[in-house]
Structure 1
Amino acid sequence: MTRLVHEFERLGNGGVLRLQRRCRSDFDLPQFDTLCESPVSFPMRGRPLIARGGRPFLNWLRRSINDERQVFERRIELRPSGVPDASGRLRAGMVEQLTAQAQPRSRLHGIQAGRAIAALAVVITHAVGQVIIEPPVHAHFFARYGVTLFFVISGYIMVVSTGPAAFDPLRFVKNRVRRIVPLYWIAVFLMAALTLLIPSVFRKTAFDAAEVVKALFFIPSYAEDGSIRPFLKLGWTLNFEMFFYLCFACLFAFTDIMRAALLSALFLFLIALGSVFDFQSAPLAFYTRIDTLGFVAGVWLAVATRRLPPLHKGNLLAAGFASLVIVAAILAYYEPIRDNPWTQIWVIIACALQVAVLAGAPRLGWSTPRSLEVAGDASYSIYLFHMFGVGLGALIIAKILPGSVWIAILVAALLGAMSGLAVYALLEARMNRWIRRMTDAKRQPNTPIRPLSPNDGL
């Protein structure tokens, strides 16, 4: 047992954090999260933890520690820089660096493809709307489908990333804020600057300081046309996202299935209120809409994926086929059923089936195209910034080839997607790395861990 404690301590922060993530999926032991905040505390608090987990947890911990040791020891053999110092211990931070490089990055490749599809669907709708003054009603469906797919994926990812047991709500909120807010604020400030400098370019957006402030803090508000949308029109989906994150964080103390049940009850209650009362307040009218059920569908899908046996290949193919049939049927009759609440419910069902197929893509033997993975990584930038490229593309073709509608739509869509990819490569990816480095450095300073003596054994 003493040797186990020594091995645990020698893993370094990188290995310990990986053990923490693996424990979340294999054992209902939320105390392990607290324990891993400070690996030094293992000998002091490890005994009650192992007592609760029993022999299976002890055996799992021993195997996991051995796996992590083998990972970075193989890297040490391959990297001349990874050598122990005079005391025989690795230099501070070397273990974390080596294990991070040796461990393949865990990614849901199919889900990344889903993000790309959702973002590109929104781009297509806006490209059509930018070129055609009165676009066909069916063009609106693609944006509706893309946003709903985003919502389902968001609910799915939140459950997968937080695990089956309780989680740290402050860390959860911090991670979501640093992921969503910086880039969104840049987009809002850029739009504000452009509406001040070149207002004639914008057909429906005019600078309003009060609306800018509301947009920055995700407060729904009425626009001049009576619709509820923020200063940056695309930000209405982020208002829903932040509301969902807040509700999800408030349920941190429950298990995943209880969180799903409580979220379902809350959102269904709000939708019922919205159907009974005609709220004049923008936030009340906004957050009682049926759109929130997309998050609920994603949450339940992730819970089912974790707790039920995986779907067989035939079932996944049937789910994918059913989703395509639903989408085709909605498109065929979209104009008369556009505002029917059941239409949105069926769109949510189709998107949930597609997320289930995308999450199970490895079992189908499908490999995600690299282009879709890249677009999935950049989906947030594409969503926020594609309108700048779409507007530029439509303007260029209108000057060069007036009347070429389909060429204008194609060029506008391509430039919209490319502008988002450029923002991701030049700004978002670098900014996210810098923010993570700064915030993680404050939370986990790179200091050597106190060596344990045999007297510290369990």
Structure 2
Amino acid sequence: MLESLQYLRAIGSLLVVGVHLEPPLQRLGLEAPWLYAGAFGVDIFFVLSGFLILVTTYRKTDYTAEFYRKRWLRIVPLYWMITTVVLILLLATPQLVKSGSLDTWHVISSYLFLPSPHPVLGSLEPLFVPGWTMNYEVFYFVTWGLILFLPQKARAPAFGALIVGLVTLGTLVKSGNPLLVFYTSPLMLEFVFGLLLGIWYKEGAPLPRPLGWVLIGLGLLALLSAAHTTPWVRVFQRGLPAMMLLAGAITLERARPVRRIGVFALLGDASYSTYLTHSIILSAVGQVFARLPLTSPAVAGITYGVTGVAAAIAGSIVFHKVVERRLLKLMRDKPAGATSAARTKVAQEVSE
């Protein structure tokens, strides 16, 4: 994988961690609404997903079954594991799950990656609340697997036409049906942005390296100044700048290899583990701080913020190394005496 994309994964995951600092900080008496600016980490991941799926399946034929197998192994077991942890916490210690309430269909739909109204929050979020983004990702992967039956030249246009058609339907037809509301959101256009970048990367001419820095600078400025209001506004204020950021990073790396920075590469590798574990870790640390005799909300908030982020990063790396990597290797059923090349391939697949 391109090193710059690993760094974007790392940055995106840390931004999402920052977003989920806000609720515990509020319970400690400190308001920090500026943390919600980090929500554009999600937009980075959506665009990045579109890019990676096109690039990793480019010109591959008879690949749908293998594509589904790899995506299932990469996503589902770990996601179900975390969802089960949340369910157990909800059943055993409901007072600790601030945003939880037991609803049978909501639990079932959470395991099936289907949008369903949250029994407490009312929004279309699963039992594991950050998993709403994964509901989009799974829809995208399932759809792209079917698209792979088409010739290479027809794949991106077919997917783009499908997404644009769904978004148009959602704009013209107002409905309270959760499935229609969710799967006609303009946010899905961000996957198309990633596909367009993938086509340019595979078939287009490289851009001058200085232009890469310009794209990154403009993308960052636009992202930092964005004010999230509606999905349509988000697509233009965050989706397009995220596309610019990714295009700039790719431009730099096409012109000259990007130096590998170990800590960012590791955080990029562990980004899925960060996504899965950070909210639970932040909540646990917040529960501890809520019981400490800290009289100043500012001191409590700053101390919690530093401790919570450090714990989330450390916990996600441990989860990545101890659980994620081992589970993936186990489920891929690699023989004990695998060659170095085979082990390298496993490592590459883990990072996809």
TM-score normalised by the chain length of structure 2 = 0.87
Match of 1:175 among 48, 51, 70: 70
State yes or no: 1:433 paired with 2:325: no
Match of 1:382 among 274, 293, 296: 274
Match of 2:196 among 288, 292, 300: 300
Aligned sequence identity (%): 24
| RMSD of equivalent CA atoms | 2.1
Deviation at 1:395, TM superposition (A): 2.9
Between 194-203 and 405-414, report the one with greater CA deviation: 405-414
* CA deviation map 1:322-342 (0-9, x unaligned): 102212331xxx2xx522613
State yes or no: 1:407 paired with 2:309: no
Residue 215 of structure 1 corresponds to 110
Deviation at 1:432, TM superposition (A): 0.7
Deviation at 1:129, TM superposition (A): 2.4
Q: 1:354 to 1:400 in 2, by over 3 A?
A: farther
Between 276-285 and 235-244, report the one with greater CA deviation: 276-285
**What is the letter of the counterpart of residue 5 of structure 2?**
I
Deviation at 1:438, TM superposition (A): 5.4
Using the alignment, how far apart are the partners of 2:105 and 2:234 within structure 1? 34
Residue 288 of structure 2 corresponds to 396
- What secondary structure does 1:132 align onto? helix
**What is the letter of the counterpart of residue 111 of structure 1?**
L
Residue 20 of structure 2 corresponds to 126
Residue 216 of structure 2 corresponds to 320
* CA deviation map 1:95-154 (0-9, x unaligned): xxxxxxxxxxxx3211111111111101011012221248554322312x1111111111
Deviation at 1:208, TM superposition (A): 2.9
Match of 1:278 among 174, 187, 191: 174
**What is the letter of the counterpart of residue 166 of structure 2?**
L
Between 354-363 and 229-238, report the one with greater CA deviation: 354-363
Contact 2:18–2:38 (CA<8 Å) still a contact in 1?
Answer: yes
* CA deviation map 1:353-401 (0-9, x unaligned): 1112333443355424211110111110110111121112223334153
Residue 350 of structure 1 corresponds to 241
Using the alignment, how far apart are the partners of 1:232 and 1:367 within structure 2? 36
Using the alignment, how far apart are the partners of 2:33 and 2:294 within structure 1? 25
Residue 421 of structure 1 corresponds to 317
Contact 2:37–2:224 (CA<8 Å) still a contact in 1?
Answer: no
1:24-43 counterparts in 2 under 5 A?
none
- What secondary structure does 1:206 align onto? coil
Contact 2:215–2:248 (CA<8 Å) still a contact in 1?
Answer: yes
Q: 1:221 to 1:438 in 2, by over 3 A?
A: farther
Using the alignment, how far apart are the partners of 1:364 and 1:342 within structure 2? 35
Contact 2:187–2:231 (CA<8 Å) still a contact in 1?
Answer: no
**What is the letter of the counterpart of residue 357 of structure 1?**
G
Contact 2:43–2:190 (CA<8 Å) still a contact in 1?
Answer: yes
Q: 1:141 to 1:256 in 2, by over 3 A?
A: farther
* CA deviation map 1:11-66 (0-9, x unaligned): xxxxxxxxxxxxxxxxxxxxxxxxxxxxxxxxxxxxxxxxxxxxxxxxxxxxxxxx
Using the alignment, how far apart are the partners of 1:367 and 1:400 within structure 2? 46
Larger Rg: 1
Q: Which has the higher contact order (CA 8 A, sep 6+)?
A: 2
Deviation at 1:256, TM superposition (A): 4.0
Gaps in structure 1 of 5+ consecutive residues: 1-106, 447-458
Between 357-366 and 272-281, report the one with greater CA deviation: 357-366
**What is the letter of the counterpart of residue 384 of structure 1?**
L
Using the alignment, how far apart are the partners of 1:126 and 1:414 within structure 2? 14
Contact 1:128–1:409 (CA<8 Å) still a contact in 2?
Answer: no
Contact 1:389–1:418 (CA<8 Å) still a contact in 2?
Answer: no
1:46-65 counterparts in 2 under 5 A?
none
Residue 338 of structure 1 corresponds to 229
Gaps in structure 2 of 5+ consecutive residues: 343-352
Between 262-271 and 182-191, report the one with greater CA deviation: 262-271
Q: 1:340 to 1:263 in 2, by over 3 A?
A: closer
Contact 2:25–2:32 (CA<8 Å) still a contact in 1?
Answer: no
Contact 2:136–2:188 (CA<8 Å) still a contact in 1?
Answer: yes
Residue 96 of structure 2 corresponds to 201
* CA deviation map 1:383-428 (0-9, x unaligned): 0111121112223334153422122122112212222111111100
Q: How many residues are paired up?
A: 329
State yes or no: 1:242 paired with 2:138: yes
Using the alignment, how far apart are the partners of 2:306 and 2:256 within structure 1? 32
Q: 1:185 to 1:364 in 2, by over 3 A?
A: same
Residue 164 of structure 2 corresponds to 268
Structure 1 segments (4+ residues) deviating >4 Å = 133-137
Using the alignment, how far apart are the partners of 1:400 and 1:425 within structure 2? 35
Between 420-429 and 252-261, report the one with greater CA deviation: 252-261
Match of 1:116 among 1, 10, 25: 10
Using the alignment, how far apart are the partners of 2:220 and 2:152 within structure 1? 29
- What secondary structure does 2:21 align onto? helix
Deviation at 1:164, TM superposition (A): 3.1
